[in-house]
Structure 1
Amino acid sequence: MDVAIKETGISMEMTGRSSRDWRELGNKGLFVIGHARTGTTVLQNALNDSKNILLFGEANFYVDKGQPDFRARFNKWHDLNGNQPTKSTYCPAVFDGDGTWEDYWVHFSHFYRCVGEKIIFNPTETSAQCDALMGFFAAHFFTGQFIFCFRNPIDVLFSVRKLAEYHGTPMTDVSIMISYLSVLRLYLTMVRLFPNVHVVFHEEPSKECFDAIGQSLDVGLNHVMSYYQTERVSRHSIDEIPAGCRDRVKELDSLYNHLRDRARGGFVLPQLEQNRYNYSPTHPTPLGGLYNATEMLLRDLAVS
């Protein structure tokens, strides 16, 4: 559903339940998080194949004010977007009337091991989204499970740009890169602050990766790999990027490859204090170095 942070405001208040209630419920939370066009939908559909998982598609619980018509709004939004009814796109009528997002979340948590949603970021208000999401997760789902999706930035640039043009809302490569980096920074932050943060790279899904995630979720994910059809994924090269932006895209692509290499092996010493102003080039840990590089590129792009 549409995210309208400026218009609706953001409430971090509990929607009728105490902090203790959410501590007991929150460990059932599961969230797929990623920038637009990074494979979040494929992953959501693959996870929803499990009878133990229910993920709503872009319900945006974190900005929902708790209106008692969640089902009507959610179903209407997906219907208007032409989506067929699935676990991702349709909320069934389980009450006599309607209810809040929390009513449905709690209800379905009695039937599924994991309940949550897919959250995507578009190149508008990404920074505000990241701040809102962190507060919401900390308040409601600190012990939940979070799976970030990433895809190489060159293909993301082309895919986002093409979709934006189709909808008549063209976007610049710089705005897309800033948005992409904001999600990357959110991931690096949450790896340090939350206990259960995972990552999937869209170009190279593997059984080993999903076995590890399934073990953490305590859910079998035997059918996940069948949802990944690599021949349907569009590929692009750096030579297709406009010359004026090519160097920055190369920097971002290098950062992405570094992230992928490091994340596959697991980050070492994530809690070692890292000061961004330290003069020594050997001071940062791999995770600290990635965070610094992300911040620097974000700053440079904002200036440009």
Structure 2
Amino acid sequence: MPKTLARLTLSLGLVLLSGSLAAAQVVLPRTLELNAKEMEQNGFIVAQEALQLAQFQQFQEALARAKLAVQLAPQAHEIWALLGGLYLAVNQPQEAVPALEQSLKLNDQNPGAYFNLGSAHFRLGQYGASVRAIEQGLALKPEAKEEWFNLGNAYLKLGQKDRAIEQYRRSLRLDRQFWPAYTNIGLVLYEQGNIRQAAKNWEQAADIDPKASEPKLALATALLKLGNEVKALQLAEEALRLDSRYGTVEFQRENLWGDRLVADTQSLLAKPPLRALLTQLQRDQSVLPQP
């Protein structure tokens, strides 16, 4: 699965938007003589509109309203957090960082803001900063299983593989059915040469979610190395039909696959039946109508 710390908390504690302000459907007054309280109230109304747009995937429109909302209510940490989350939604992590930092300056008790700050730093390749932000969020919300997983990803990018596995196992202690953690433990073990144990983790992930392409293709690669080519070809075909993107090195790298696994998977995909299948799937994809 994509490993861009992609869980976006757009609500980010916008509890103050509930009640009368959340239900308000008003147009901003045209008068220039708004007092500070009225401006803040209007800021929350505009922020609620932004949140509603975001829920319908209209992120650019939501972002424009969130920018206005922070101008109207510059002391509202919830709105700065929303703005930061929306910058992430439109893939602008550089802009997300100062917005989220401003939110945390106003209120350092919002775990969602820390988590999104960690995501922004991760996307920017600032893995040490990502670790620090996620750990601060987990200190406030230790039951966030996906964030232990994301923390493991950041440690993995730092080359601290044992610490990465520790975090993945923390997420599994919270949810034994969280298959991405099994998958990434397998990624680490494979690079360490522990192919059989990696295969067990991928098998467990695939059993939890039979429609997950990633663990199936990784398992297929491991089985080929272990001498079971028939089963490897079968699983690889299933995986590619589920998501052919995993047939590309670029997508494998994006999902934190290491050098050994990438190279071995390319050897698997070079097998004539799989090479033909990939060609067919790419051809089919190219003739699909564009959205």
TM-score (norm 1): 0.26
The structure where strand makes up a greater share of residues is 1
Q: TM-score, normalised by structure 2?
A: 0.27
Higher relative contact order (CA 8 A, sep 6+): 1
Higher helix share: 2
